Structure 1
C-alpha cells in the first residue's frame, strides 16, 4: 500500500513581505538559470510571489495548499513568451521552499 504524502508545514509567517521578496528573487534566479534569462521571468516571479504573500497573510502555512494556490492563479498568466508553464512555476516554488527548510526532496525522501 502506498503511503500518503506527508504534510510539510512552514513556520508561521512573521514578515510575509520579506518572504515574498526572497521568493521573488529566488524564483527569478531559478527561472533565469534553468533555461534562458527572459524579461518575462521577472513578471512570472513577481506574480507567483504576490500569490504566495497573500496566502501567507491569510495564515496558510501548509506547503501543498500554497503550491496549489500558485498553480491555480498562475493559470491566468500568459506564458506564451516563456519556456515555462504554471506547473513548472508551482513545482519550482515548492522545491525552493523545501530547500529553504532544509528538507531533502531527492528520491522521494
Structure 2
C-alpha cells in the first residue's frame, strides 16, 4: 500500500548544545561501537568515528540543532573520506548517526 504524505514532516531537533565536546565524545564512542558490531572491528572504524565526531561537534558549536541538517553536513563532508579500507560508506555512516541520535532522543 502506497502512503502519500501531503504535509511536510516536522524537523527533529536536538536541544541547544550545552557541551558540544562531550556530545562529540559520546557520538565518537557510540558510532565506533556501532561500526565495530555491525560487521567486524576494523582500525579504520576509529578514524571514521573521530572524523564524524569532529564534523558533528563543529556543527553543534555553530548552533545547529536540526538532525537532518547535521546528517547532511556529515554526509557531504564524509564524501572526502577514504572508505576503501572499510565495509561502510558515507551513507551508511550518516544513517548510523541518525539512528544513534534518535535513540538518544528516545525516538525508536
TM tier, smaller: over 0.9
Question: What's the C-alpha RMSD, in Å, of the aligned pairs?
Answer: 0.8
Superposition pairs for residues 11-50 of structure 1, below 5 Å? Answer: 11-50=15-54
Report the number of matched residues. 104
Q: 1:62 aligns with which of 56, 60, 66?
A: 66
Q: Which runs of 5+ in 1 are unaligned?
A: 105-109
> Which structure 1 residue ranges, 4+ long, deviate > 2 Å from structure 2?
3-6
What TM-score does the superposition give when structure 2 sets the normalisation length?
0.94
How far does the alpha carbon of each residue in 1:33-87 deviate from its partner, in whole angstroms, 9 at most, with x for none? Answer: 0000000000000000000000000000000000000000000000000000000
What TM-score does the superposition give when structure 1 sets the normalisation length?
0.93
> Aligned partners of 1:79, 1:25: CA distance in 2, in Å?
19
> Aligned partners of 1:20, 1:33: CA distance in 2, in Å?
20
Q: Which runs of 5+ in 2 are unaligned?
A: none
1:84 corresponds to 2:92: no
